[in-house]
Amino acid sequence: MRTYKVSIVTPDGPVYSSEVEMIIAKAKSGEIGILYGHIPLVAPLQIGAVRLKNDGKTELVAVSGGIIEVRPEEVTILAQAAELPEQIDIERAEKAKERAENRLQSNHDDVDFKRAELALKRAMTRIDVYKHRS
């Protein structure tokens, strides 16, 4: 399958740059799969694992929301935060998950609830991606 360049960048700098055959990402409107030559597209992303496929292998990157910009021969993800499996501090993610779950169970206003839900999603995504490290 034909490959194209993917870059994942955050305010702290580049996290991933490689040739891939396919990206699977969770846009706010639903999951999207992108192959070489895709029509141009800009879409907001959900918090989730981005899957990058090449040569029969799948790499995962934890992406904490942002924007995907698709051009026919290049894709860029501008993320609020993004981590490769080996960059993830699993204890920190487990603690963040526990904190968020406790907040969701306690009395809260709507703002705290939403914040805790997003924190839980980030933590669960990191835990999921960490499990796929090689």
In whole angstroms, give the CA distance from residue 47 to residue 96.
15
Q: Does 126 bind ligand ATP (CB under 6 A)?
A: yes
- Number of residues binding to ligand ATP, judged by CB under 6 A: 13
Distance from C-alpha of 49 to C-alpha of 117, rounded to nearest angstrom: 16
What are the backbone angles phi and psi of residue 97, rounded to the nearest 5°?
A: -65, -45
Q: Decide if residue 50 touches ligand ATP (CB under 6 A).
A: no
Does the footprint of ligand ATP cover residue 26 (CB under 6 A)?
Answer: no
122 binds ligand ATP (CB under 6 A): yes
**Residue 131 has which token pair?**
């499990």
What is the nearest approach in angstroms of ligand ATP to the Cβ of residue 83? Answer: 5
C-alpha distances in angstroms, 108 versus 54, 81, 97, 100?
Answer: 44, 26, 17, 12
Using the rule CB under 6 A, which residue among 23, 51, 64, 66 binds ligand ATP? 64
Q: Which stretches of the chain bind ligand ATP, using CB under 6 A? A: 12, 64, 81, 83, 87-89, 92-93, 96, 119, 122, 126
